Amino acid sequence: MKAVHEERQAKNVPPGPMSFEEYLEWLDEDTWAEWVDGEVVMLSPANTRHQDIAGFLFSVLRTYAETKGLGKVLSAPFPMKLGAVRRGREPDILFVAKEHIDRLKDTHLDGPADLVVEIVSPDSRLRDRGEKFAEYEAGGVREYWLIDPDEQRADFYVLGEDGRYERRRPQEGVYRSEALKGFWLREDWLWQEPLSPTLSVLKELGVLG
């Protein structure tokens, strides 16, 4: 099934360069692709563990942000355009603070998210830690999380005053976000088998009674 899916996607890759607007017109909800320097780059389908962690974080972050009135949380596929570096990436999860909600368009985010989460997979590790790290930094993404299920490693970065990412380490296994005010994350929530129930986590965060 995976081979058939990849073959179908590969046949749909348009030839030659295109504008970001042309990319958006070509893109659909069943196609996982990014726009890099005018070219379409196809993405491999995610595995079950990737989807589980992405779904868990999306549910927790979205409920927290909505309950606290902090902004909007979206999941892939939804392009984020970084004009300064000519990139249209599709982060696994992104958060847009309410003061920047004007960046949110019907089909894409026009400008940097306040928080981006990428779930690292073997084929995306170099891209997430290399290309995207540099792009998100240059593009002004305020906070960047890299979650690697295979290595059970979570890295958290926040833009410093000099425009460069500074790594922020969890204290006693707990990371406290700067972009999503008041939100904190226990690293061990990410590595449990099965994952912690979302409702239990939201109660611990004080979102649910």
pLDDT of residue 2: 38
Both 94 and 24 in one domain: the answer is no
* Per-residue pLDDT, 205: 95
CA distance 10 to 90: 18
* Residues 41 and 52 occupy one common structural domain: no
User: What's the pLDDT at 185?
Assistant: 97
For the record, the structure tokens of 44 come out as 């491999």
Is the same domain home to 26 and 119?
A: no
- Does residue 117 fall inside a structural domain? yes
Q: Are residues 77 and 108 in the same domain?
A: yes
Give me the pLDDT at residue 21, please: 84
Q: 40 and 59, same structural domain?
A: no
37 and 52 part of one domain: no
Tens-of-pLDDT digits for all 209 residues of the chain? Answer: 333 334 334 446 777 788 888 888 888 777 777 788 888 877 776 678 989 999 999 999 999 999 999 999 999 989 999 977 778 899 999 999 999 999 999 999 999 999 999 999 877 787 889 999 999 999 999 999 999 999 999 999 999 999 999 999 999 999 999 999 999 999 999 999 999 899 999 999 999 86
Instruction: Quote the pLDDT of residue 178.
Output: 97
Q: Is residue 121 part of a domain?
A: yes
Domain membership flag for residue 94: yes
Cross-strand partners of 155? 146
Domain that holds residue 28: 1-45
Cβ-based burial of 168 (10 A; exposed 0-12, middle 13-18, buried ≥19)? middle
Q: pTM of whole model > 0.75? A: yes
Are residues 188 and 139 both part of a single domain? yes
CA angle 108–112–118, rounded 5-degree value: 85
Tell whether 6 and 74 lie within a shared domain. Answer: no
In this structure, the answer to whether residues 165 and 63 fall within a common structural domain is: yes
Residue 39 to residues 1, 26, 36, 130, 170: CA-CA distances in angstroms?
26, 12, 5, 19, 37
For residue 143, the model assigns a pLDDT of 98
Q: How many structural domains are present in the chain?
A: 2
Domain membership flag for residue 209: no
Residues 77 and 121 grouped into a single domain? yes
Per-residue confidence (pLDDT) for residue 45, from 0 to 100? 67
Report the pLDDT value the prediction gives residue 72, as an integer from 0 to 100: 98
At 12 the pLDDT is: 65
In Å, how far from its chain's centre is CA 65?
Answer: 15
pLDDT of residue 159: 98
Question: Same domain for 142 and 186?
Answer: yes
Q: Report pLDDT for 37.
A: 80
Query: What is the spatial distance between Cα 94 and Cα 111, in angstroms, rounded to a whole number?
Result: 12
CATH number at residue 183: 3.90.1570.10
Residue 117 shares a structural domain with residue 34? no
Q: Rounded distance, CA 132 to CA 19, Å?
A: 20
